[in-house]
Each structure stands twice: as structure tokens, then as C-alpha cells.
Amino acid sequence: MNEAHITITGWVAAEPRYTMTPNGTPFLALRVGCTPRRYDRQTGQWQDVETLFVTVNCWRGLADNVNASEFPRGTPVLVTGRLRVRQYERDGHWRFSAEIEATTLGPDLLRGTADYRPVQRGGPLSEEDRQLARDTADEWALTGSAEGEGEPKAA
């Protein structure tokens, strides 16, 4: 199996969604937008190129830590992980979406500062904390997902 490990810089494009899988594994997904810039020698100006939106999936401890941190919409981030390209059919057209299974995610310190706090875990999450996460996930499911926002349209 080919695995492409990549690092992207961008910003949080949608609020992170934290949930627990049925077997109790923490999971967090968020959308990250990346807008490359190119220097135009003729005009002497930097130009924004088309934005790429990527779904970032975080599991277990990384999901817990991202959830416990502040990554609201618009936060500049760095993400490292395994690239996955998902192909699916919608409305009779084949579409593709890029996903990253994150191994690390953090603030982009070129554009801001951070206060690091080591993880203080006294053991596994309590059943009360797990229930709170499930209730929050159920609320999100009732309001609908942001899936498909910003995804490029198939040609």
C-alpha cells in the first residue's frame, strides 16, 4: 500500500467536530483550507491561487488534545499525516476529496504564538465525560454536517 506523508499549512475552515465511535474511540474531524500564493513578476504582486479544502481526521489522543485546545474557525494551523484521496459518486458524477489522517496538528507559529500545556491524564475518560461527548455528537448530527462545503466540483 502506498502512503504519502504530507505537511500542509492553512487555516481551520469549519469548527472541529468531536465524537466517540461506538467502541469509545475519540475522533475529531475538521476542514482545513490552503491557499497557495504565487509571485507575479510582471506586476510585482503576490497572487492567491485556488483554495484547496482538506478534511483532517484525528484519532485517539490527538483527537482529545485538539478538542481540549482552541482551534476555532480561522486559526492558522500546520497538519502532518497520511494523505488519502476518496472517490465517490454524487448526482451521477464522480468526485474526489482529499483527506489527511493526522499524526500531528498544531498552531502555525509563523502567524501567532501558543501556550503549550502537557497532557495531564489521570487515566481513561470517565463515563460522564464520554456521555457528554456522545450528547454533543448527537446534537451535531441533528443540525446536519458541513460536509461538501468548499469541496471542488468534479470536472
80 Cβ contact list (under 8 Å, min separation 6) = 5, 6, 7, 102, 103, 104, 105
76-90 and 52-59 as β-strands: parallel, antiparallel, unpaired?
unpaired
pLDDT tens, residue by residue, 9-25: 999 999 999 999 999 99
| Per-domain residue ranges of the chain | 4-143
pTM: 0.71
Q: In the structure, what pLDDT confidence band is assigned to residue 86 with cuts at 50, 70 and 90?
A: confident
Between 2 and 55, where is the model more confident? 55
Q: Which CATH class for the 4-143 domain?
A: mainly beta
Cell 462545503 belongs to residue: 149
